[in-house]
Amino acid sequence: MAPTTTLPTRAEIPDKYKWDSTSIFANQAAWEKEFEYVLADLAQLEPYRGHLGDNPQTLADALELAQRLQKRVGIVFVYASMSHAVDMPDQNAAAMNGRVLGLAGRAGAAFAFLDPETISIGQETLNEWMQREPRLEIYKHYFDNLFRKQKHVRSSEVEEILGMLADPFSGAYTANNVLTSADLKFPPARDSQDNEHEVAQGSIYTCLDDPDRALRRSAWQNYRDTYLAFKNTSAAQLATSIKQNVFQMRARHFDNTLEMTLFEQNIPVTVFHNLINTFKKNLGTWHRYWRARKKALGVESLYTYDIWAPLTKHTRHISYEEAVDWICAGLAPMGKEYVDIVRHGALEARWVDALPNRGKTEGAFSSGTAGTHPFILMSYDNNMGALSTLAHELGHSMHSYLTWQTQPMVYTNYGNFVAEVASNFHQAMVRAYMLKEITDRDFRLNILEEAMQNFHRYFFIMPTLARFELIAHERVEHGQALTADELVELCADLYAEGYGQELQIDRPRDGITWATFGHLYADYYVFQYATGISGANALSKRILSGAPNAVVKYINFLRAGSSKYPLDALRDAGVDLSQPEPVEAAFQVLESYVSQLEELIG
């Protein structure tokens, strides 16, 4: 038997493929010093408590101080959280991460009086004060948003308590993240030659897109069975998170958690339901894809572990550097300045912690804050899927970069609804370029497979999980308990509907899917992947078709941050996601990919 394929340790990864932590702090000692300074400096806000209404100058001083402190807290937080994410078993990094979660809670409590006191000044007075104090003018949208949310903002005392809950309420997610990234140990998978392959969060999809079906089946079963072994723990963690959200809903006097969560971004609940209804109506497109995939693989029955299987024996190896070249070529319509920033960040400034290593957290994300440059965590594994993931996260990073370059601190925290447009936009642009340029059948199959896997994740899994979390939240809202078996059965039912008669359901292993997605700890986040991919394809189509000022409007959208409501910012860029039409159009894009696949498969 051949030796087991294992992941490298953190120390074995070359520095050029690691995020540049020294761009934030020279070392941990410098971080420690700033941590203590920020913790002490939070007290500087206390003299303003009860005095924001004294005069416009005092209000401006307090808001400016709060923004400076928020920026410093963010910088300290990013350094610790990234250090922890790239090496979860590192106890020192885990301790740093725990401390910054506590700091975030302290900061939330320190800032808690600002909104209630500002509201108590009154909108008419604030409008007059903005005329008298120029420093207040930038807060116009912030003030408007405050009064929009007025009936859900509680007293200073209650807001302080709610702010202090940020740290303890992070416990469910933190515990789940530690469980899945550090404590879960997966049995190695065996391929058809009886060779062992390490199964870990950073390697599972490398196993699942392997041509060896025995390896795929073994890896998927071992991965899912390990989650099933801890289903009761995972269910308790998720139920706790949902109960916390229901508590917040009741404390802020909302009718349900969906309304509360979307209200924060001024998104009507009809947007969520439009997405779900359109998804259910178009499930036939997915059934058609399953049929095509089954035919291409030449199998009698298609299982979940076959969804990522390559449709050609000739999978194109794409190095990290080559991926950056493809991404930059695809983004060329955005202009030289935009492309140069992407290339510099990916290759020279070490924005990206690129390669898998033992102990690295699952998935991929873009991090950072105003005062740092963006940072990306991923596990690049030299294929088209990895190229697409890199493009996706660079979309997030460019959104952040341009927002931080343009907006004051108060408008830098844009919502998930617009974030997922920016990330999927990059993928749509790069995919369109590659399909236009490449004629080789196998490489085109690789690209179309990536497109389908991207849509599978964001336009099949995420809407399915959105349906799952809505039902789970509604059960808790109505006083029902959530058991592990109930959650597994609910998820399995939804997957069975999505699979139809074309794909075989393995009810326990498909039903535990919810436990493998930490996204569910950010309530009603997952549906925004589907609206995001819809908006992204609509906006990329505008640019590629040469619509007037389409590039300028899109870059202005990225620069807007949270200075506009999400739906308004997207309308200004050229897409209206309050209506179901962009989702329908995205299904047409999906259908075109299926047609191209069917043609290539024959």
Is 164's pLDDT higher than 90? no
| Lowest mean per-residue pLDDT among 87-96, 165-174, 177-186 | 165-174
**What was the pLDDT predicted at 167?**
80
Is 27's pLDDT higher than 70? yes
Q: Please, which residues bridge with residue 196 across strands?
A: 190
What are the catalytic residues?
A: 393
Q: Is there a domain that residue 74 lies in?
A: yes
Q: Is there a domain that residue 477 lies in?
A: no
| For residues 383-398, average pLDDT | 96
| Lowest mean per-residue pLDDT among 52-66, 155-169, 419-433 | 155-169
Predicted model pTM? 0.86
Cα 546 from Cα 52, distance rounded (Å)? 49
pLDDT tens for each residue of 148-157: 988 887 887 8
pLDDT tens for each residue of 297-316: 999 999 999 999 999 888 89
CB-based contact 359:63 (threshold 8 Å): no
Name every residue whose Cβ is closer than 8 Å to that of residue 503 and which is 6 or more positions away in sequence.
Answer: 290, 294, 302, 303, 304, 307
pLDDT tens for each residue of 250-260: 999 999 999 99
Exposed/middle/buried for residue 336 (C-beta within 10 Å: 0-12, 13-18, 19+): exposed
Cα 345 from Cα 373, distance rounded (Å)? 9
Q: Is there a domain that residue 111 lies in?
A: yes
Question: Half-sphere exposure (CA, 13 Å, Cβ side) for 138?
Answer: 15
- Here the CATH number for the domain that contains residue 42 is 1.20.140.70
Angle between helix 527-544 and 416-437 (nearest 10): 50
Question: Half-sphere exposure (CA, 13 Å, Cβ side) for 194?
Answer: 1
Q: Is there a domain that residue 520 lies in?
A: no
DSSP 3-state assignment of 438? coil
Name the residue among 387, 385, 391 with its Cα closest to residue 427: 391
**What was the pLDDT predicted at 5?**
55
| For residues 566-584, average pLDDT | 96
| For residues 73-91, average pLDDT | 96
| Lowest mean per-residue pLDDT among 203-207, 415-419, 432-436 | 203-207
Q: Using pLDDT thresholds of 50, 70 and 90, give the confidence band for residue 410.
A: very high
Domain count of the fold of the chain: 1
Angle between helix 231-251 and 171-178 (nearest 10): 160
Is 4's pLDDT higher than 60? no
Task: Please count the other Cβ atoms lying within 10 Å of the Cβ belonging to residue 34.
Answer: 17
DSSP 3-state assignment of 324? helix
Question: Half-sphere exposure (CA, 13 Å, Cβ side) for 578?
Answer: 12
Is 1's pLDDT higher than 60? no
Q: Which domain holds residue 147?
A: 25-169
Q: Is there a domain that residue 65 lies in?
A: yes
Q: Using pLDDT thresholds of 50, 70 and 90, give the confidence band for residue 178.
A: confident
Exposed/middle/buried for residue 434 (C-beta within 10 Å: 0-12, 13-18, 19+): buried
Q: Is there a domain that residue 57 lies in?
A: yes
CB-based contact 69:135 (threshold 8 Å): no
CB-based contact 338:365 (threshold 8 Å): no
**What was the pLDDT predicted at 3?**
42
DSSP string, 177-200: HHIIIII--PPPEE-TT--EE---
Is 73's pLDDT higher than 90? yes
| For residues 436-452, average pLDDT | 94
Q: Is there a domain that residue 112 lies in?
A: yes
| For residues 456-475, average pLDDT | 97
**What was the pLDDT predicted at 2?**
42
**What was the pLDDT predicted at 241?**
94
Name the residue among 166, 184, 175, 182 with its Cα closest to residue 238: 175
**What was the pLDDT predicted at 416?**
87
**What was the pLDDT predicted at 156?**
77
Cα 179 from Cα 361, distance rounded (Å)? 11
- Side chain identity at residue 409, one-letter code: M
Name every residue whose Cβ is closer than 8 Å to that of residue 382 and which is 6 or more positions away in sequence.
Answer: 317, 318, 319, 320
Q: Is there a domain that residue 31 lies in?
A: yes
Proportion of the chain above pLDDT 70, given as a percent: 99
